[in-house]
Structure 1
């Protein structure tokens, strides 16, 4: 499997047009109109090929593993992930490889949840600052309990415990409704869009991501045909 297909299977990578890398998007048969974050054909683009080679190497050499106590395989809905463990382990290693390839100085993640993705991103870029935005237990996760032990689910506290266990120090977790924000309060060279995946929220989060003036935006689960993908198409138009 080529790097292009591999990245497509986990999400979408965008890079600012001042650089050479443009778009990875699963199943795209047409080229979107060029805009500030649009794309043109990139089949023989040297920047894309270099990114592919670096990503392949970083994924091949990845020794990162999810934390034994704090990961999607232990969270409140763990059975969903355990039933597809190999696929999700591969996905999170790809998160690691994307971050390792980009080597960001600051990461902003829209949709931190309990920090499982952040673990992969920060482990790959230990010198980076990380800022995570989420409603945590005040949002759609309000009132949920762990399906195994019945304990109320508090994702922000779980994320803090995970980060302490990993030894991460350069991070901020900000509890906020993203729809209350017109602009992110920090700049970052790498922004991850991984909050609500419905059309309206995905599109709004993509626009919000740009206010951080990033060099890269990574969109998780970008190929959902009725939700995320149409939002990305509109964003790139």
Structure 2
């Protein structure tokens, strides 16, 4: 009997605790809904900053509050704060259990992604919207636009890849030309250091000097130019002596002719 009483007391405590938690949860939901309502009132009066504060209170009171996140996303969207709006729409889509709410959230996510030029991601967002509401013609139309945009971006990416490949090839060719010129210059400098003349005229002059020297140097068994000259002079002198001797002998045998006596 004593154990039974203890069990009943424990069960009563658990029930009371659970009841209190349920009441707190219901109270939080009620407060969050009131904040959302106040936020909507502010939006109707174009007081977006005040509305944003109310929606934030709703989310703070109940983090999974879909209406608060979605409406806060709308508030950011109207102020062109697309990154903040995207975050709130994604939050709403994640926490929502209603197909209608999911459809609206994904539809708006797709619109923001299109504005950010993320067409491929926008296609998936609009597809998710249509999965939750296949009858929405506006979503279907936006999906078509997103697909065209994604295809265009794909073609542009291919073109950019080709341009990049061409630029890389041109750059590689320039680098190779620079290296070839560098190697050529280093080769020329190396030849100069080894004593090879740069000037063709100088090379030609030196070649002529070598030819003259070669001509002046007698070959084995031959007379030098100076020796030949001396020999010729000696021969001329000898010939002159012989001629003088012959002339002297003729002079002795010549008769003297007298003048005619008139």
How high is the TM-score relative to the length of structure 2?
A: 0.22
Q: Which has the higher helix share?
A: 2
The higher-RCO structure (CA 8 Å, 6+ apart) is 1
Q: Which has the higher strand share?
A: 1
How high is the TM-score relative to the length of structure 1?
A: 0.23
